């Protein structure tokens, strides 16, 4: 089974590397990073790059598509080549998925019209403008679309997908291999639980 993970300049690394760690451990998995052009693609922090060998044109029939988010997503909203590729491969994909603001790219390509989806909390209101029903759930499954909320939720989405693809036992084994048993030291992982000052600080960082 081929998993195609889309990259573009300014991607958020955990958006794609979280699902990579999970999905790449499934039986007979082939993971390929794809981009407009081959070469190094740098993340949003500027200190990590992934060397992409395959272009979008090289990958024509992936079984699963993963689109991450990040500040670079804004520029990709007008990338008609990427949108056309997403629409084309979506016709035959078993799953088309996103993490964080990657769902806005799926929405811009017209794939989520009339469906439920989630994204990073700061971008949730934008989904409605594309005919999507926004959800605050961490992972949303609607048809063959799986969308995850912000960044770390990509691991949850990938484990959910792993269970649907390979069965619960395999997914749980992968969870154990990566020792995914989060016990965060703070209860500030959502807008609903974070103190108001923390939300304000986070908004400032995102807008900067």
Inside any domain, residue 127:
yes
Q: To which residue do tokens 């960044």 refer?
A: 151
Residue 196 lies in a domain: no
Please identify every residue annotated as catalytic. Answer: 100
The predicted-structure confidence for 178-204, as pLDDT tens digits, reads as follows 999 999 999 999 999 999 999 999 999
Query: Measured between alpha carbons, how far is 67 from 99 in angstroms, rounded to an integer?
Result: 6
Range 27-50 average pLDDT: 98
Boundaries of domain holding 100: 2-183
With 0.95 as the threshold, say if the pTM is over it: yes
Residue 157 near residue 147, CB atoms below 8 Å:
yes
Number of independent structural domains in the chain: 1
User: Given this model, what pLDDT does residue 207 score?
Assistant: 86
Q: Is residue 154 a part of any domain in this protein?
A: yes
Long-range contacts of 86-89 (CB under 8 A, 24+ apart): 86/111, 87/111, 88/60, 89/4, 89/59, 89/60, 89/61, 89/62, 89/65
The verdict on residue 190 lying in a domain is no
User: Is residue 89, in this structure, part of any structural domain at all?
Assistant: yes
Residue 121 in domain: yes
Is residue 16 one of the residues assigned to a domain?
A: yes
| The pLDDT of residue 126 | 97
Residue 195 lies in a domain: no
Residue 107: CATH number of its domain = 3.40.50.880
Query: What is the rounded average pLDDT for all residues in the chain?
Result: 97
Write out the DSSP string of 52-98. Answer: E-EEGGG----SEEEE--STTHHHHTT-HHHHHHHHHHHTT-SEEEE
């Amino acid at each position: 089974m081929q998993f195609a993970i889309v990259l573009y300049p300014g991607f958020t690394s955990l958006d794609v590397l979280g699902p990579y760690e999970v999905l790449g451990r499934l039986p007979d998995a082939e993971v390929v990073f794809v981009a407009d052009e081959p070469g190094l693609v740098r993340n949003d922090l500027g200190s990590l790059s992934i060397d992409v060998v395959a272009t979008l044109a090289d990958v024509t029939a992936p079984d699963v598509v993963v689109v991450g988010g990040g500040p670079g997503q804004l520029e990709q909203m007008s990338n008609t080549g990427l949108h056309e590729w997403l629409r084309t491969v979506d016709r035959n994909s078993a799953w088309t998925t996103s993490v964080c603001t990657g769902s806005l790219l799926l929405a811009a390509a017209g794939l989520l019209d009339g469906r439920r989806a989630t994204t990073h909390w700061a971008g949730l209101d934008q989904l409605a403008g594309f005919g999507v029903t926004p959800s605050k759930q961490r992972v949303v499954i609607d048809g063959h679309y799986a969308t995850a909320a912000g960044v770390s939720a990509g691991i949850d989405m990938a484990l959910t997908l792993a269970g649907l693809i390979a069965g619960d036992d395999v997914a749980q084994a992968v969870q154990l291999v990566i020792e995914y048993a989060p016990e965060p030291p703070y209860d500030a992982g959502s807008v609903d639980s974070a103190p108001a000052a923390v939300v304000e600080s986070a908004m400032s960082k995102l807008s900067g």
